[in-house]
Structure 1
């Protein structure tokens, strides 16, 4: 890959993974809008792993407590952190099932050549983000998380496998609709994403390596750059959600979707997707 492509991919993934605007959608649009060769699934996996490390580093205290809580559960001792760890595992199951099904039917490969799906999802889920954030109550915290909201948010995360939806965006949307405070909605969305991102990354990485696809220096550099950009993005977002709504992100999503649809249906040729 060109150094410019490496930098662009790292910036896009690092910024969009944790903002509610869809990282996978933006990554798929890069070759479509620039004409660059498709960076490929393995590169997408590597940049997602960079994002995964960033969220683990930022929330390292939560990760340690969740791990210790999980160990306590295995020993038959139920703690608040153990309960939260169990709810995160339960919330991850729908995404695992949905992801496997879509992968088996070849949907994820097919959607790489369908930017209109990204456009419509950006608009639809952008509007939904605004509505749920604007009218959702702010009366629940992480300590109020229970089985029902965890499953609902987990089901929302499963839908985010479709590009343009945004994993962080739809899980925050679901959490806000259920009455969780904005910072708590973001925090749970990030923690819920840890096993989902890690699991998907490991599976895809294993498939790519077993098929003979090599991990190049460019891919590793992209992942490293993504880590630092993502860490900065999380830090900024967690501060912003304490003082502002999700409206700017919703507006961006709608404008992005409209702009992309205008390009698609105008007949102006987009960059080749190889």
Structure 2
């Protein structure tokens, strides 16, 4: 049964990590519908490594270009004039807010933030934010126009994803739209910005797998592999989708799911609190 749950949760992770609908929210909500224990923040963080490996594989050329350009810039003044040098710093600086806040708020992330009252509310609120960003954003600026100030703002937005229901991609994409970036540009940068934070969090939480959590090492590996395979397909689909269509369907989905969660919790059909740390 643990492996069946792992497959289902890995499928959920792969389907929802890159869509602006919050994978961590889905991993907290859907086990409640089936009467399963909350997989917990540790399991959620670790299987996200699978989807980030999918990002690395899909964007390996971009990652190599940025990484090698940044390294050249360390040793060459001329190389520091290149876009790759700046983009490397943008990713590094943009990753700092979520790293710092993640360490400072670890206990809240593991427990209080996983309360379904919080998750249902953030699904609705950030859905509205995404809808406003989609409507008012100019969606005309390419990612080459990124500045350090904007990189910091992207990073601050990403840090909001420490609260399940916010959505890492949803927060950063919303910020990108507010700042006037093209949908595809904001989406690609959101994926790249997430790599250091998600992989770091997953590795950090490996020590907590198999403790009080019901999902041990084997199911965690299964969930991670499933999330990788599904996530790779979702990246390909989403980048094609946003090149011609809006995020509006995801806005309605977020508001609908958040409202359903609040109604079910309020009616006592599902419990709001977590059962594991």
TM-score bracket for this pair, using the shorter chain length: over 0.9
Q: Cα gap change, 1:211/1:120 in structure 2, threshold over 3 Å: closer, same or farther?
A: closer
Q: 1:56 and 2:56 equivalent?
A: yes
Unpaired segments ≥5 residues, structure 2: none
**Aligned pairs, how many?**
271
Q: Give TM-score, length-normalised by structure 2.
A: 0.92
* Equivalent residue, structure 1, for 2:98: 95
CA contact (8 A) 1:130 1:250 kept: yes
* Equivalent residue, structure 2, for 1:14: 14
1-structure distance, mates of 2:259, 2:209:
38
Q: Cα gap change, 1:142/1:8 in structure 2, threshold over 3 Å: closer, same or farther?
A: same
* Equivalent residue, structure 1, for 2:129: 128
> Displacement of 1:66 after TM fit?
1.3
> Displacement of 1:270 after TM fit?
4.3
* Equivalent residue, structure 1, for 2:268: 267
The correspondence of residues 105-184 of structure 1 with structure 2, limited to 5 A, is: 106-111=107-112, 114-184=115-185
CA contact (8 A) 2:210 2:216 kept: no
Deviations 1:137-174 (A, max 9, x none): 02211100011111111100111111100000000000
**255-264 vs 28-37, which deviates more?**
28-37
* Equivalent residue, structure 2, for 1:198: 199
> Displacement of 1:90 after TM fit?
0.5
The correspondence of residues 27-38 of structure 1 with structure 2, limited to 5 A, is: 27-38=27-38
* Equivalent residue, structure 1, for 2:75: 75
> Displacement of 1:212 after TM fit?
10
* Equivalent residue, structure 2, for 1:23: 23
SS at match of 2:111: helix
Deviations 1:208-248 (A, max 9, x none): 27979895222111111110000001110000001110000
2-structure distance, mates of 1:152, 1:259:
31
* Equivalent residue, structure 2, for 1:233: 234
CA contact (8 A) 2:133 2:177 kept: yes
2-structure distance, mates of 1:131, 1:141:
20
CA contact (8 A) 1:33 1:270 kept: no
Unpaired segments ≥5 residues, structure 1: none
2-structure distance, mates of 1:273, 1:130:
30
* Equivalent residue, structure 1, for 2:87: 84
CA contact (8 A) 1:33 1:271 kept: no
Deviations 1:36-94 (A, max 9, x none): 12324442233101011001011111111111012112213312111101111111111
SS at match of 2:166: coil
1-structure distance, mates of 2:185, 2:164:
25
* Equivalent residue, structure 2, for 1:2: 2
1-structure distance, mates of 2:22, 2:100:
20
Q: Cα gap change, 1:244/1:210 in structure 2, threshold over 3 Å: closer, same or farther?
A: closer
